[in-house]
């Protein structure tokens, strides 16, 4: 019960931080472009972790098997922090499934880190037909996310990590198929 309360509190804090960050990026020209049917703003890049080595971490997967990020060394990784209660997170996952299908054989690996209750994540992932590993976060997961540059706990929060374990891209906010494809193609 105590862990559930902690996860809910972390989720609420993440939602508020994400909203606050989103509001701070809405300049008048971006708002006007959206109102006029212009393209959505590109994800914000966090340059503080770009070109840094990825942090090591372990979390359980949906089968409760402890998995370590080093299992995917040698692959180009899309590391995505998300939650089922986060609408932008839910919108981007079908693109990630498609990217995994299209580029998996070339050494690309999507790795989801859900900051949520196991049952909710399992139901959601099964319903979509997720074809990539999804790890389940707990109260420590926000520390992992922060080690990857997500100091405000925003969701979704995604990183592209090259085959040598170096962070090459950080996306704060919803990513599209094209956003990710543009980043991974030179690394494959």
Domain with residue 35: its CATH number is 3.40.30.10
Tens digits of residue pLDDT in 6-50:
544 455 455 444 444 444 444 333 433 343 334 443 443 445 899
Query: What confidence score (pLDDT) does residue 34 get?
Result: 40
Written as one string, the DSSP assignment of 27-39 is -HHHHHHHHTTPP
pTM: 0.76
Query: What confidence score (pLDDT) does residue 159 get?
Result: 98
Whether the link from the prior residue into 123 is cis, omega within 30° of 0, is no
Domain range for 28 is 2-187
Number of domains composing the chain: 1
CB-based contact 160:184 (threshold 8 Å): yes
Q: How far is CA 22 from each of CA 11, 32, 60, rounded to the nearest angstrom?
A: 16, 15, 30
């Amino acid at each position: 019960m105590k862990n559930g309360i902690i996860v809910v509190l972390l989720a609420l804090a993440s939602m508020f931080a994400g909203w606050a960050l989103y509001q701070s990026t809405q300049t008048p020209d971006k708002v006007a472009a959206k109102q006029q049917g212009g393209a959505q703003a590109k994800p914000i890049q966090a340059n503080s972790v770009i070109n840094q080595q990825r942090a090591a971490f372990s979390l359980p997967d949906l089968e409760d098997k402890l998995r370590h990020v080093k299992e995917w060394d040698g692959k180009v990784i899309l590391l995505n922090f998300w939650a089922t209660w986060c609408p932008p997170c839910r919108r981007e996952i079908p693109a990630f499934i498609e990217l995994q299908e299209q580029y998996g054989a070339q050494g690309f690996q999507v790795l989801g880190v859900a900051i949520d209750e196991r049952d909710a994540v399992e139901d959601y992932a099964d319903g979509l037909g997720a074809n990539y590993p999804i790890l389940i976060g707990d109260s420590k997961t926000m520390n992992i996310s922060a080690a990857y540059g997500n100091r405000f706990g925003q969701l979704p929060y995604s990183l592209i990590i090259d085959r040598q374990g170096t962070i090459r891209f950080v996306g704060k906010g919803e990513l599209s198929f094209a956003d990710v494809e543009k980043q991974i193609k030179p690394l494959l």
